[in-house]
Structures are given as structure tokens and as C-alpha cells.
């Protein structure tokens, strides 16, 4: 008898493509670019708050012009500081990005990745205005994936609602309204731990082995809040007719 592979064990192709892109960018920087070329690459594609503060540096101090002022809100998320940074973020992309990709599909997944990365960059810009140190890494977008998954993964019939492996339909359950999600004790506990860890990162009480650079925890929070709020804009699954504010099937205290 042929056993059917559970979807939870199969990584969506768009997630594989994203992980491959992250790896290729890192390998290209490590093996194809000289030190000076790598710095030039970062000036073009990393997010640098000082790029937007013309009172500190003359206009045109950074390459790329107005185009780089736009694309670096997303391209920084494809760059990682070192192999450990890449590996950690890759694991989180697999864990949370896969759930979002199964629900959103490839195009919405990529758009959501860019939107939450941009929200993280915007938050970093507000809190680090004029800073010359570049910000890199997909953590803000991953934080957005976490927030989005929180809206449906623990719904009744959702991928994490039981101990059983989920099928494809588990990723299509109607999501709960945000007001209901934020009244769930499990969600509140998750939020307390998640925000608490990021605050500890900010004050330096928690560090990640192998990553010596400062952790852009404000960008994480910006990406997370964007994922939480923007989820309905990207979500292709609509609640059943007449569900109203109840969120339809699965509304109530059965979600994360």
C-alpha cells in the first residue's frame, strides 16, 4: 500500500527558491567578490539609515541614487552577516515561511515577504536615523511570517490544532479576526515571550552564538506588527458568508 506523503513534510517550491536565493547571495559575496566589491555591494543593497539623512552627508554619498532608496527596503533581507546568521534564519523560514506559502501561494508569499521586510526597515529607520551601519537579514520578514501564522495555525482544523499531521486543507481554514486572536491566552503568552526576547536582545541580555553584530530588534517588531495587521490584505481565504465578526469556523479560543 502506497503511503501518501503529508504536506507538512514537503517544503513549498517558493520557500525552496527563497532559501536558494539567500544561499546564492551569501555564497556569491563570500567567494566571488573581493573585500572592496563586497562593501560596494552592501552600499547598493543593504539598508543604511544614513542614506536618508542628507543633513549628515552630501547628496549622492551612497551609490544607487533614488532607486537604492527604494529597493534597499527589501533587498537587505536577502543578505546575511555570516553563515550562522543565514542558517538560523533559514530554519525559521522553513518553519514559518512554509506555512504561509501553503496558504498564500507563491506570488502573495513573496509580496508579503517584501512588505514585512519593508516595515521592519521603516521601523529601523525611525529608531536609528542617520546610522551608517548597514542592516541585513531576513528576520523582520520572518517575524511577519510568525505573526501571520498566528492568525490561523491554531484554528480548529488548522495545521497545529491537533497532534496529527496536517493536510493541505489545514492551511486553508478561515482565520480569526484580530480582536479574537488577541484575546486568546496562548496568543498573549506567545506575544509576551516574543516581545520579551526582543527587548532582551535590545538591552544586550541575550545574544546569539556566532553573531557578533547588534541585533536589529526594532526591525523584528516592525515586521511582526506588519504581519499581524497586513495578514487580511494578503490572505486569499475568506470567512464563510454570514460569519461576521466570529471569524467563521475555528473562531474562538482554539488559535495560537
Domain boundaries, the chain: 10-246
177 pLDDT tier (thresholds 50, 70, 90): confident
Please give the grid coordinates belonging to residue 197.
526576547
pLDDT averaged over the chain? 82
> Using CA atoms, how far apart are residues 217 and 44, in angstroms rounded to an integer?
23
Give the model confidence (pLDDT) of 52-89 as tens digits: 887 766 666 788 889 999 999 999 999 999 999 999 99
In this structure, of 55-59, 178-182, 190-194, the range with the lowest mean pLDDT score is 55-59
| In the chain, % of residues over pLDDT 70 | 78
Model-level pTM?
A: 0.82
> Using CA atoms, how far apart are residues 145 and 83, in angstroms rounded to an integer?
22
pLDDT of the residue at 8: 45
pLDDT of the residue at 235: 95
Q: What is the per-residue burial (b if ≥16 Cβ within 10 Å, else e) of 94-115?
A: eebbbbbbbbbeeebbbebbbb
Please give the grid coordinates belonging to residue 184.
486568546
In this structure, of 150-154, 224-228, 247-251, the range with the lowest mean pLDDT score is 247-251
**Mean pLDDT, to the nearest integer, of 87-101?**
94
Give the model confidence (pLDDT) of 141-150 as tens digits: 999 999 999 8
Query: Tell me, what DSSP letter sits at residue 12?
Result: -
Please give the grid coordinates belonging to residue 143.
517575524
pLDDT of the residue at 166: 56
Query: Residue 137: which of 225, 16, 49, 22 has the closest Cα?
Result: 22
Does the pLDDT of residue 7 top 60, yes or no? no
CB-CB neighbours of 40 under 10 Å: 13
Cα angle 96-11-186, degrees, rounded to a multiple of 5: 25
Burial class (CB in 10 A: 0-12, 13-18, 19+), 89: buried
The residue that leads in pLDDT, 212 or 160, is 160
In this structure, of 59-68, 125-134, 205-214, the range with the lowest mean pLDDT score is 205-214
- What architecture does CATH give domain 10-246? Up-down Bundle (1.20)
Q: What residues does 47 pair with on adjacent strands?
A: 135
DSSP secondary structure, 83-129, as one string: HHHHHHHHHHIIIIIHHHHHHH-HHHHHHHHHHHHHHHHHHHHHHST
> Using CA atoms, how far apart are residues 60 and 106, in angstroms rounded to an integer?
36
Amino acid at each position: 500500500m502506497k503511503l501518501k506523503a503529508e504536506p507538512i513534510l514537503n517544503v513549498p517550491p517558493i520557500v525552496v527558491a527563497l532559501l536558494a536565493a539567500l544561499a546564492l547571495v551569501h555564497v556569491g559575496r563570500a567567494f566571488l567578490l573581493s573585500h572592496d566589491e563586497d562593501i560596494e555591494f552592501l552600499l547598493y543593497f543593504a539598508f543604511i539609515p544614513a542614506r536618508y539623512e542628507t543633513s549628515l552627508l552630501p547628496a549622492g554619498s551612497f551609490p544607487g541614487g533614488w532607486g537604492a532608496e527604494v529597493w534597499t527596503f527589501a533587498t537587505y533581507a536577502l543578505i546575511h552577516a555570516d553563515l550562522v546568521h543565514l542558517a538560523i534564519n533559514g530554519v525559521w523560514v522553513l518553519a514559518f515561511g512554509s506555512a504561509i506559502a501553503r496558504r498564500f501561494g507563491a506570488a502573495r508569499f513573496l509580496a508579503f515577504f517584501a512588505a514585512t521586510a519593508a516595515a521592519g526597515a521603516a521601523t529601523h529607520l525611525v529608531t536609528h536615523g542617520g546610522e551608517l551601519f548597514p542592516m541585513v537579514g531576513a528576520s523582520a520578514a520572518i517575524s511577519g511570517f510568525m505573526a501571520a501564522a498566528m492568525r490561523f495555525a491554531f484554528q480548529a482544523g488548522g495545521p497545529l490544532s491537533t497532534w496529527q499531521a496536517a493536510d493541505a486543507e489545514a492551511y486553508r481554514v478561515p482565520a480569526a479576526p484580530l480582536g479574537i486572536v488577541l484575546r486568546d491566552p496562548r496568543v498573549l503568552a506567545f506575544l509576551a515571550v516574543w516581545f520579551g526576547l526582543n527587548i532582551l536582545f535590545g538591552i544586550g541580555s541575550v545574544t546569539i552564538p556566532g553573531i557578533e553584530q547588534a541585533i536589529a530588534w526594532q526591525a523584528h517588531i516592525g515586521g511582526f506588527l506588519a504581519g499581524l495587521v497586513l495578514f487580511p490584505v494578503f490572505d486569499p481565504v475568506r470567512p464563510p458568508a454570514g460569519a461576521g465578526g466570529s471569524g467563521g469556523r475555528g473562531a474562538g479560543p482554539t488559535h495560537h
